Every structure is written in structure tokens, then in C-alpha cells.
Copies of this chain bind each other. A is one copy, B any other.
């Protein structure tokens, strides 16, 4: 059967997002998610520890892409420029996921526990980006500030991207947020 239905994880994520959106996060069970995906609960638990983690499964790939992007930024790029350049592979990852990202954002926003989880993931991401900058030779202090600024810029750009209708606007919206941050911090 799996030969005709590859990517069990992707199907579980899609099913979960649909169900959370249709009937609410709290009201949805793992059994329902597995059933919608045409899979068993046992398969669900091979991929995720619980239904909450389905919503955060993309964060590992996001972080991997961002860190690779930071590491691959031009050697002469400043700390914040490297953070921004590092978002190119992240933007690419989300290119086909605008509808998904929008539904997910609505589900997270509606639930305080999920909002907390999201914040913690973003802070963990900021820590990882800080380390990637230090690996580039950026001083610890500048790395912390640039990484946190980058995460804020990403959050603001992301929030605007899911609010509007053009899936291709993500990079531009991030750049606008970055430009606004530069204006706000200009002495």
C-alpha cells in the first residue's frame, strides 16, 4: 500500500491541519488524524509523539535550512546580512506551503498552549542562529542581537505573508520588515 501512498508524514500533517481547522485542535484525536490520512494510529506514533508535534514538525527543516543559509552566506556579509541571506532556503521551503502556513497560523493563534510552543521554538531557533553566526566569526554579543533581530524580522514577515494572498511575496515581506527594523534602530 505504501508504494502508492508515499510520504506518510506529509499525509498526517495535511490531515491534522485540515481537521484542526475544521473542528478545532482540542476536539481532534490522533485516531481521527490517522483515519483521515488513511493510516493507523501506530503509524502516527512512528512519526509524532502527540498531535501537538504535528504542527511543529516543519521547524526542524526550517532550522536546518536557515543554518545552512547562514553558513553559506558570502564571507564578507555582516551578521544581520548573513541572517537575512540565510532565509533564502527557508523562503524556498515555504514556496508551496502558503495555504498550509495560513491554516496553521490560525490554529496556533487560537490556542494559548500552541502559541507558547511556537514562541519556544522560535527562541530555540534564535539560539541556533546565534551559534551559526559565532561559527562565522561574529562576536557573541553581535550574534545574539543579530539572531534575535532576524527571528523578529522573520516573524513579522511571516505574519504578513500568511495574511495576504500572494504566495510569492514572502521574500519581499521579509525584506520590508528588515528595512523597517533598520529604520527603527537607526540612531
How many copies of this chain sit in the oligomeric assembly?
A: 2
| Complex alpha-carbon distance, A142 and B141, angstroms | 23
Nearest chain B CB to A186's CB is how many angstroms away?
7
| A181 / chain B contacts, CB cutoff of 8 Å | 145, 149, 185
Within 8 A of B (CB), among A164-183: 177, 180-183
On whether the beta carbons of A177 and B120 are closer than 8 Å, the reply is: no
CB distance from A155 to the nearest CB of B (A): 8
What is the size, in residues, of chain A's interface with B at 8 Å between Cβ atoms? 27
Contact A184 B142 (CB under 8 A): yes
User: Which residue of chain B lies nearest to A178 when distances are taken between CB atoms in the complex?
Assistant: B185
Contacting residues, chain B, for A184 (C-beta < 8 A): 78-80, 142, 145-146, 149
Known A-B contacts A185-B185, A186-B186; the reply to A180 vs B141 at CB < 8 A is: yes
Whether B148 lies near A152 (C-beta < 8 A) is yes
Does A92 lie at the interface of the complex (its beta carbon under 8 Å from any beta carbon of B)?
A: no
What are the 5 tightest A-B residue pairs by CB atom distance, in nearest-first order? A148-B152, A185-B185, A146-B184, A145-B181, A119-B123
List 13 other contacts, CB 8 Å, given A182-B187, A185-B185.
A78-B184, A79-B184, A80-B185, A116-B120, A119-B119, A119-B120, A145-B153, A145-B184, A148-B152, A149-B149, A181-B185, A182-B185, A185-B186
